């Protein structure tokens, strides 16, 4: 599903973001990406989204070598990946239904498919009754549910969640994690970057820890900290 093969990234200011990392994420896995600020997590995610390219190595996603992906193929590649951000990134002038539908319109889905799929996904995230509401009328947790609905409406093979609970209270955060867990159980591969120790420890999923550009730890059913060292 995802293979980083001897990937390195050095930015123009000579900052080493990733240093010769090799890691494989299998189809259907739920992986937490942890590490201190500046460790390389953001670069890891940006590479998956083809926003930055490595200086060396090979990145394979869905059997595609995206390190050699032509520029005109990038939009089509990204359509197969769902993304959820900390700050939701909803379009304020569109209501809930329209925000989710927008993601399908970008892929040139038919009106018939949109009318069928959007209500299904809103039901999945528990927002069927709020399809006419605008983002400012929703709580933070509800806005994040809309963002998740938008991210999964096109049935992506991979869902990238970048600090999705960062702006939410603990109870709402766990509700969002339960939703993501359900999506993962349905077959979607999830890679989630987070600093939320309680969430990582309670979920007991695979944990990949990045520190100073290298894979410092890779554990199945891992925890956020190791040997009293906190990221």
Condensed to tens digits (0 to 9), the pLDDT of residues 180-206 reads: 999 999 999 999 999 999 999 999 999
Which domains occur in the chain, in start order?
Answer: 26-50+70-219 (3.40.50.300)
Structure tokens given for 16: 């080493």
**115: CB partners within 8 A, 6+ apart:** none
The 10s digit of each residue's pLDDT in 111-139 is 999 999 999 999 999 999 999 999 999 99
- The pLDDT, as a whole number, for residue 102 is 96
Torsion of CA 166, 138, 128, 82, to 10 degrees: -40
pTM: 0.92
């Amino acid at each position: 599903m995802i293979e980083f093969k001897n990937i390195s990234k050095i930015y123009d200011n000579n900052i080493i973001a990733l240093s010769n990392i090799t890691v494989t994420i299998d189809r259907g896995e739920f992986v937490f990406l942890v590490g201190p600020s500046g460790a390389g997590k953001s670069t890891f995610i940006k590479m998956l989204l083809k926003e930055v390219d490595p200086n060396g190595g090979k990145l394979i996603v869905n059997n595609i070598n995206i390190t050699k992906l032509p520029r005109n193929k990038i939009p089509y590649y990204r359509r197969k990946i769902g993304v959820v951000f900390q700050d939701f990134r909803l379009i304020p002038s569109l209501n809930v239904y329209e925000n989710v539908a927008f993601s399908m319109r970008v892929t040139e889905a038919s009106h018939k498919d949109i009318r069928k799929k959007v209500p299904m996904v809103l039901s999945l995230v528990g927002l069927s009754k709020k399809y006419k509401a605008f983002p400012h009328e929703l709580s933070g947790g509800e806005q994040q549910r809309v963002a998740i609905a938008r991210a999964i409406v096109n049935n992506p093979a991979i869902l990238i969640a970048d600090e999705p609970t960062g702006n939410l209270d603990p109870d709402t955060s766990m509700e969002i994690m339960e939703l993501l867990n359900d999506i993962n159980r349905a077959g979607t591969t999830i890679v989630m970057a987070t600093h939320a120790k309680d969430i990582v420890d309670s979920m007991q999923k695979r944990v990949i820890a990045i520190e100073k550009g290298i894979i410092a730890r890779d554990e199945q059913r891992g925890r956020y900290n190791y040997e009293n060292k906190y990221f």
